[in-house]
Every structure is written in C-alpha cells, then in structure tokens.
Structure 1
C-alpha cells in the first residue's frame, strides 16, 4: 500500500479543492481511492477476526464519498479533505454503532468507534441502559485497553442540562448528557506510514468492541 501517495494526493487536493483540478487529476484520485480501499480491506479482514457482526461486509459498503453533501456543506470546497470508511453491520449508513477510519494528512487521521448522532429513540434507549446498567458501562470505559487507546474519552456534543427524566444529582449525569457516543484517537502522518498501521487500527477497534456491543444491544428495540 502506497499510503504516502495517498497522503500526498489528499494534501494536494486540500490546496486545490475545486472541480477543475479534480478533473485534471482524476487518475490520481482513482489510484488514491484504490490504495484506501486496500487499506480498508486489510483492516476489515483483521477486524472480522474478533467482530463477527462484520462478517459478509464488503469494502464498497464501507466507503464514504469524497464529494461533500450539499445539505451539510460548511464551505465552498466541493470535496472533503479526507477519505473515510465506516465498518458497521449493514454498511456505512446503517443505524448501528460501528468502527470508523478517516485518513487525512497533517496529523488529522483518526479512528473511532461508537454511534454518532443516534436517533432520538435510540439515544433514549442508550441513556436508559446506562442508567439501569451503569456498572457494566463503567467496566467497559475503565478497562486498561480502552483507557490506553482512547484516553480522551467520549467525543462529540452533549446537553447543557440533564436530559428529560433524569435528575441533576444522578451520579452518571456526565454520560447521560452525551448526545454522541463515540471515542476517537488520532495518528500523525508518520504513524500512518509505519508498517504496523493496520495492526494499530485494529488494536483500537478491539479495545472498543465492548462499547460497540453495549450500544447496539441498548439500541435494539
């Protein structure tokens, strides 16, 4: 895998983020996407060894488009500055917790796991499960592997006040206020180019598997 070429392409794209440039470098884009697909195939194969819910998932089902979605566009740039994938049962748009990888130069590469922006009903079930089964939730987040891989804890938005139905003195309020249940860790460009990059990604995913399982069981109707 020529991950250096991939990083260089994304760096050039960030400096020339317009359709005319992409049209001129379409062959390079296809080469970069092929390299990224190979990376995801390697990560998926290793992750399937310990995550049976991903058996049968294919690489095309995991890949996000590089084109920005106009509904959420924050700038005039037509393309994302990264390539991303979601290793989730049912594919990248499935309403389940899963595993994520975004590759972007400049030390912006990250891997993560969990559920981003769960639907209101699913979010309510996650909060209820934490409230009813707090010891299991805390055992997951307090394990040595989890703490080592995700020292910053949960990422994303959270409520300013207790969610409806929960008291402000609830001992688990810090986690009940979460609106996203995702943990992430970042990689420098040098780390991306290391020969053990795939192994390090899957180490993070393995550490996060109990959280992914907890969230999916909580969201199940």
Structure 2
C-alpha cells in the first residue's frame, strides 16, 4: 500500500461520490484507511521522541471521518476528497493537522478561528510579550517553511481594550493564529515524506508552544 494508491482511490471516489459506490469498494477503502492509520502510528511515535510535551495520539484517534456532515452542509458531496488527521491531540492545545487530498496537501497548526476565551488569552499574551512571538514569526527558517500566518477575516479596527497605536496591533487584529505548509503530490509519494513532516513539526513547535502557553496561563 502507498500514498499513490491512496490518491488513486480518492480520485475514483471523487468521480463516483455516492454511498452505493463506496459500499462496492468498502474493502479497498479500509485497506487505504488502515495504511494511513499505520503511517500515522509511526509518525506519532517519532514525534513523541522529539517533543517532551507531545500528547501521544494513535492513528485511529487522529484520523477524521471521510464522510461529510450533510446535516449542516447538505450541498456538499457525501464523501470528502481527502484524508485528514490531527496529531498531538490534547484539550486546549493548538492543532497539528495533516491533510492529504487530491486537490490540497498540507500541514497546518495553531488555532483556526478560536473561541472568544482563547482568542482573548492569545491577545493578552501578545500584549504582555509580543516581542517573543514576533521573533518566532520573523525567524528566517520559519518564513521559508510557512511564510505568513493565515489571513482569515482579521479585524479592521483595534480589538476592544487595545489602542490603535499598540506596537503589536497587526497581531492583535488577527482572529486566526495558524500557519500552513503545502506539498506537491510528488512530495507526498516520496520516501522522505514522513521526515519532511517531522522537520515541519520541529519548525512549528515554538509557534505552537507560545500559543499553547498563552491559553493555559
């Protein structure tokens, strides 16, 4: 089994997106799913060895359902065009998410549109010590891997309680604190893909640690 076969299965599923087709090919789906779970288990063990604060997360715990939630999104197809998984899972922690799909392939981490309580805590941390966060974001290797933080519906004005001339007002206006690194299909199917994920995890670690600390203090 391989990621090449995973892509092939997702392409055929995308062309035949129905429960009837999935029922006919459910055995193949489980083979692909089991391959991905096994791959995630290997990665989980390796990440736990390099990060003392890592929360072990088995492949079965990490992998997301392939079914779309049609109750809330009735216009979506029955099945997704990707396999998603979240490692280093612990309540309150920022995400470390792996997305392997036919249209998008990426790793992302941090807090995507966090609820008000967490957003307030992150802003308070930046207000208190934004310089450390700025250094993380401006580190040359971090910029090479991730570029800028995701730009998702930032405030046009200052958040309540913060002056417009605050030295970190550009950060305080953010409502998502997350970064992403995309892959080509060739990178995913290469032998060193797992090692690339590990390298990205290490580069993202100070970013996630800052945010995780912000919401727990």
TM-score band w.r.t. shorter chain:
over 0.9
Distance 2:160 2:176 in 1: 16
Structure 1 residue 136, shift from structure 2 partner: 0.8
Distance 1:33 1:190 in 2: 20
Does residue 174 of structure 2 align to residue 178 of structure 1? yes
Does residue 7 of structure 2 align to residue 7 of structure 1? yes
- Decide whether the 8 Å contact of 1:97 with 1:114 is kept in 2: yes
Across the two proteins, how many residue pairs are aligned to each other? 217
- Decide whether the 8 Å contact of 2:55 with 2:88 is kept in 1: no
- Decide whether the 8 Å contact of 2:84 with 2:99 is kept in 1: yes
Query: Tell me, which stretches of 5 or more residues in structure 2 are unaligned?
Result: none
- Decide whether the 8 Å contact of 2:137 with 2:148 is kept in 1: no
- The equivalent of 1:29 in structure 2 is 29
The two structures have a TM-score, normalised by structure 1, of 0.91
Does residue 57 of structure 2 align to residue 57 of structure 1? yes
- Decide whether the 8 Å contact of 2:45 with 2:56 is kept in 1: no
- Decide whether the 8 Å contact of 1:63 with 1:85 is kept in 2: yes
- Decide whether the 8 Å contact of 2:93 with 2:212 is kept in 1: yes
Relative to 1, partners in 2 of residues 1:140 and 1:105: Cα closer, same or farther, differing over 3 Å? same
Alignment root-mean-square deviation, CA: 1.7
The alignment partner of 1:184 has SS state of strand
- The equivalent of 1:87 in structure 2 is 87
Does residue 111 of structure 2 align to residue 115 of structure 1? yes
- The equivalent of 2:16 in structure 1 is 16
Structure 1 residue 101, shift from structure 2 partner: 0.2
Query: Tell me, which stretches of 5 or more residues in structure 1 are unaligned?
Result: none
- Decide whether the 8 Å contact of 2:149 with 2:177 is kept in 1: no
Spell out, residue by residue over 1:38-91, the C-alpha distance to the aligned partner (whole angstroms, 9 max, x if none): 22122222221222233433222211111112354262311111111111332x
Which residue of the other structure, out of 135, 144, 149, is the alignment partner of 2:145?
Answer: 149
Does residue 196 of structure 2 align to residue 200 of structure 1? yes
The two structures have a TM-score, normalised by structure 2, of 0.92
